[in-house]
Amino acid sequence: MYLVQLSVNPPPHGGELPGGIREVIAACASEADALEHVSVLPFARPRPVIGLFLRAASPALAEESARCLWYKAASSHPPLVGWELSLAEVPLLLP
């Protein structure tokens, strides 16, 4: 299982990340996405962060699945219009 952190930029006019993102992403996930959990940090700086816990064979596949889930959610949830994905990565933690 991998944690993929999505960093998202607000629309040009600004604003806060809309509520209910956790539920929107979960509703967009299919069994093939292997989504286990969604965590949202709407006030993280410099931009909001969404954490997706995904079962995947590799970090690269987890990152690709996370990007796909973001785009599905953003295209199906009108309050996300204008929000842009800036980064989708499995953070590398050093011991």
| pLDDT tens digits for range 48-82 | 999 999 999 999 999 999 999 999 999 999 999 89
| Domains of the chain (ranges, CATH numbers) | 2-85 (3.30.70)
Predicted TM-score (pTM) of this structure? 0.90
- Contact by Cβ (8 Å): 91, 4: no
Q: Is the pLDDT of residue 93 over 90?
A: no
Whole-number Å distance between alpha carbons of 67 and 42: 18
22 exposure class (CB count in 10 Å sphere: 0-12, 13-18, 19+)? middle
15-29: average pLDDT: 93
Q: Which amino acid is at 80?
A: L
